[in-house]
Amino acid sequence: MISGQPRTIVLPGYDVRIAPGALDQVAACAARCTSAHRYVIVSDDIVAPLYAQRLRAAFGARAELVTIPSGEEHKTRETWGAVTDRLLALGAGRDSAIIALGGGVVGDLAGFVAATYMRGVPYVQVPTTLLAMVDAAIGGKTGVDTPAGKNLVGAFHRPAAVIIDPTTLATLPVHHRRNGAAEAIKHGVIADAEYFERVCTFLPTLDTLDGREPELIALIARSVEIKAEVVREDEREQGGGRRRILNFGHTLAHAIERETRYAIAHGQAVAIGMVIEARLGEALGVTERGTSERIAGAVRSAGLADALPAGLDPLAVVRATREDKKARAGRVEYALPARVGAMASGAGGWSVPVSDDDVLAALGTPLARSGRDPSHG
């Protein structure tokens, strides 16, 4: 049974607290779990005007605010450098802690700052988007993007705590709620068919959320549990470890994001990636027939597209997958579902090396017909 009451989920090394109004508990929690004497709140120019002053007031004179531009295009080494320079200018030492207030971009970047500043200081994740609540804030991966691809520079660095206040979703634009739903759909596909159905039932309410709905709290909690269960088994994605199943939909998603210069949001790219990768699995005989259509139905119910946008060259997408972290020995590896609720595994672990022509066929552009080699321009 999934409870809709406020929840605390215990992960290795830190807790995740989910409760309406939890934003007002951040200062007290940070004092307990970091033992820091100074705090630096890192947020972006959209979230900071909404919540940073409320958070800063709770910390009192011990907190400073550093604001970065919003958007994936600013999750870069340059922004990382600007934030660390600002911390140095503030005189922040090893007795400091970072508070990451915002969505996945802020969480990834602020976490990477924490992982590298003074060789590592503690940080607390305070996600304010649905995508960050159900996925990005959990698991300890931090990093920044480079021109070659997403998250290619980063570190594993556990947060000291994750504090989730679902009422912040009341100010989140509807399209960002829909993007977050893509990761919840993914968690159902990779691990829990019943959860997948519950998410599908909940999707029509995305437009009217105020963050206090018991079912919303329950769904966030179950997503956190699913990701935590996977991460617990394979925290640093060693070899063919199980953490790779979290990459479902992401191999193509990262390529789509890169090729559109992040004009397509991460959740939307994941939605497209899941549908196409499930179709790829069906073609390879790895995935149960009908799985891709079930996922496409969920994606459409969330108000997301289920196919590549018009004008995006499938060959360019395939080329971009070759520069992702998931490429091994010249072939790109994909995490593919066996069916909704379970991922395929084999002798090679939890991912399958796939040829470019099979991927292009799933994208609707068979290599033989194109007459072009995606490894070349």
**HEC-encoded secondary structure of 36-102:** CCEEEEEEECCCHHHHHHHHHHHHHHHEEEEEECCCHHHCEHHHHHHHHHHHHHHCCCCCEEEEEEE
Q: Which of 119, 138, 94, 126 is nearest to 29 (CA)?
A: 126
173 near 50, Cβ under 8 Å? no
Residue type for position 97? A
Measured CA to CA, the distance from residue 219 to residue 225 in angstroms comes to 10
Query: Burial of 345 by CB count in 10 Å (0-12 exposed, 13-18 middle, 19+ buried)?
Result: middle
Q: Contacts for 87-94 with beta carbons within 8 Å, 24 or more apart?
A: 87/40, 87/113, 87/117, 90/40, 90/64, 92/38, 92/40, 92/64, 92/117, 93/38, 93/118, 94/118, 94/121
**Could you identify the residue written with the tokens 């179950």?**
222
Q: Return the DSSP state at 291.
A: H
Please tell me the distance from the alpha carbon of residue 26 to that of residue 20, in angstroms, as a whole number.
12
Q: What are phi and psi of 123, to 5 degrees?
A: -145, 155
How far is the C-alpha of 123 from the C-alpha of 111, rounded, in Å? 7
- The set of catalytic residues is 119, 141, 183, 227, 237, 243, 247, 250, 254, 266
Taking alpha carbons only, the member of 272, 279, 361 closest to residue 308 is: 272
